[in-house]
Every structure is written in C-alpha cells, then in structure tokens.
Amino acid sequence: MSDQTVLHVKGRVLVGPDDARDELWVVGGRISYERPAGARDVRTVQGWALPGLVDAHCHVGLDTHGPVADDVAEKQALTDREAGTLLIRDAGSPSDTRWIDDRDDLPKIIRAGRHIARTRRYIRNFAWEIEPDDLVAYVAQEARRGDGWVKLVGDWIDRGTGDLSACWPRDAVEAAIAEAHRLGARVTAHCFAEDSLRDLVEAGIDCIEHATGLTEETIPLFASRGVAIVPTLVNIATFPHLAAGAEAKYPRWSDHMRRLHERRYDTVRAAYDAGIPVYVGTDAGGSLAHGLVAGEVAELVTAGIPPVEALSATAWGARAWLGRPGLEEGAPADLVVYDGDPRADVRVLADPRRIVLNGRVVG
C-alpha cells in the first residue's frame, strides 16, 4: 500500500460490543465512516473488524535472563503483532525500547518503566532491587521514565520462611503510590499471594497483576476501590511445573503455588462477578512466548467470564482503560479483521485474516 491508498474495510465493523457497522474507510492512516470523495486507489478488506487487540501485561525487550538485544525485541513485537496485538502495556522491562515508537509497523507500547523489587526478592536482572527507604525515589524515577504506569513487585518468595510473602511495609507503599499519583502515573503490582493485597489496595494502588491471592475478604475491597486485575491465566498455568521444580527445597512455597493454581478459575470468576475490572494480559517475555493473546481470552471464558466481556477485556474495554482509542472517527487505523464473529466464538481470535496498523495492511 502506498500513502495514497484508501483502505475500505467492509463486512461488520465492531466499533463496540453492540455497535456493528457495515464499513469504514482508512484515509491518511485514520478511520473515517464517510466514503472519501474522488478516491481512486482503493484496497478492500472484508470480514469482522475489531480494534487492535491489547495485551495489558507483556514484556518487550526481556527474556528469562534479563534485557535482550534490539533485534530480539523486534521479533517479540512482531510476534505480538501477528497475533493481532497492536497495543501493549509493557509491565516492566529493563530494556530501552523507545526506538519502537519510531516504527509505524510495530505495536504501540505503554511502558511501566523497570520493575521495582525488594533486594534479592525477584528474578535476577529484571528489576531495580532496593529497600523500602528508597521506594519513593525509585517510583518517582520510573514514573518519569514510563508512559503513565509504574510496576512494583508486591510479593515474592521469602527464602527465610520458604513461602510467598509481602515485600513492602504499608507506610512505604502508601508514600510511593501517593508520589506516583502526584506525578500523574498509575501503579500496578505483581502479586501471587494473599497477604500483600490489602495493604496495596488500601494504599491506593490502581491495578494488581496475576491476583491469584484474591479471597472472599479482599474481593469486596477491590470492587469498592475499583482496582483492576490482569489475571495472566496463561502464565498461572505454569504454576504446577514451577512447584514441582522447587518441591525439594521449598515445599511450603510449592504447596501454596499449587493451591493458587487449583482455584485460579474460581478466583477470576468471583472477581468478575463482584464487579472488579478484568483485563487481558499474557505475561509474555519472561519465560512465556509472545503472541498468546487469543489463548488468554479463551482462558477468561473458561473461567466463566461471558465471551463478549472477555473480548472487551482485550478490545474496547481495555483500550478505554488505557486511554487509547478504538475504532472511533479520526482514530489511528489499528484494527484486526477475522473471518467470523469473535463475539460468538472467541477462538476466532487465534486466526486473524488481516492486520492493519497505522492504516497499513501489515499482516
């Protein structure tokens, strides 16, 4: 496609879950619902169109060992793009991926800076590892470096007790979250366990990643405060394998991880039923492959979330939550076209027919 090519998307354009239109036009990389006058070079794409999918927990520029070279990060971003993910909230990365912003063929990224963890309480080479007295300063630093988000590690294994435990005292997270909010950033935290959640939510946190430790006591607190969760169920599926590998050294931790895994679907459904906002994230980029967004949507449906709501968690709802447009008039033309209606069967997401990014057909 040249810069002068007009793209005509026809079939069913899902502007919202209940707003399906017959066609849209892409002119100069932006969406229009009016046929452009005098258009000569027109390319037509037909099918069911959705806003570009969102992976709200992804790590471009990271692998199991830490930061990666730019060519590896490029492959990660391209893999996500080919799966239909055109908007990523990068939930912590030690790599500088700002160069991706200059590429109109790669997904758009909303960065949370680098993870902030307690000393020796997270994966080596991933995070800033600090003590509570330095938390406010590091949160301020990452709030300025990121794109409106900061990522804390809320809990991790305590090798002294051999089990998961909270990483930060209440006063430290209260001060740190207040500073992030003062600087205009939202805060999220990695949390597997139960005991880190109440302090973080009451301290004003905006989102919790994984949230496997939600209970009958904390679910109402999340709901009343409007704290979102990103369950990353495709990552939680790895818990039994992780538990088996650590059984001999950390039996308490292994048992805890198995219990969190066993109740994962019940936890997510209970959160949804209580009105907690739930969004799609895969946790790609550490030990997980990229391009798993369709599998995560399917997992949310398996957990009992209605298909249209699971779809919204990676489409209309997720984009609104992150403050990015969907298929509105004048918005950048980032969309994915499928052969069937993804509202009827979310498995359609696994096989995009066409991918349009910044108005160009890229897949």
Using CA atoms, how far residue 337 sits from 23, 277, 293, 320, 352, in Å, is 12, 26, 15, 20, 6
- Count the Cβ atoms, other than its own, within 10 Å of residue 192: 21
pLDDT at 286: 86
Q: What is the pLDDT along the chain (363 residues), one digit of tens a residue?
A: 555 789 999 999 999 999 999 999 999 999 999 999 877 788 999 999 999 999 999 999 999 999 999 999 999 999 999 999 999 999 999 999 999 999 999 999 999 999 999 999 999 999 999 999 999 999 999 999 999 999 999 999 999 999 999 999 999 999 999 999 999 999 999 999 999 999 999 999 999 999 999 999 999 999 999 999 999 999 999 999 999 999 999 999 999 999 999 999 999 999 999 999 999 999 999 889 999 999 999 999 999 999 999 999 999 999 999 999 999 999 999 999 999 999 999 999 999 999 999 999 999
Which one-letter DSSP state was computed for residue 101? G
Instruction: Specify burial of residue 328 (Cβ count, 10 A radius: 0-12, 13-18, 19+).
Output: middle
Specify the pLDDT at position 1: 53
Tokens of 87: 């908007």
DSSP, collapsed to helix, strand or coil, labels residue 267 as: helix
Helix, strand or coil, per DSSP, at residue 13? strand
- CA 11, CA 176: separation in Å to the nearest integer? 49
360: Cα within 13 Å, side-chain hemisphere: 12
Task: List Cβ<8 Å contacts ≥24 apart for 19-24.
Answer: 24/49, 24/327
236 with 229: CB under 8 angstroms? Answer: no
> Within 13 Å of residue 305, how many CA atoms lie on the same side as its CB?
33
Q: Which pLDDT does position 3 carry in this prediction?
A: 57
Q: Which is nearest to 337 in space by CA: 109, 44, 127?
A: 44
For residue 195, the model assigns a pLDDT of 96
Angular region, 302: left φ>0, alpha ψ -120 to 50, beta rest: alpha
Domains and CATH numbers, the chain: 6-50+325-362 (2.30.40.10), 53-321 (3.20.20.140)
Confidence (pLDDT) at 5:
83
Beta-ladder partners of 228: 207
Q: Among candidates 265, 151, 135, which has minimal Cα distance to 208?
A: 151
Q: Which helix (H) or strand (E) holds 108?
A: strand 108-111
Single-letter amino acid, residue 226: G
Reported pTM: 0.97
Decide if 129 contacts 92 (C-beta within 8 A).
Answer: no
Instruction: Name residue 19's beta-bridge partners.
Output: 16
CA distance linking residue 167 with residue 129, whole number of Å:
11
- The pLDDT value recorded for residue 268 is 98
Check residue 78 and give its pLDDT: 98
d(CA 246, CA 250): 6
Burial of 240 (0-12, 13-18, 19+ CB in 10 A): middle
d(CA 316, CA 299): 18
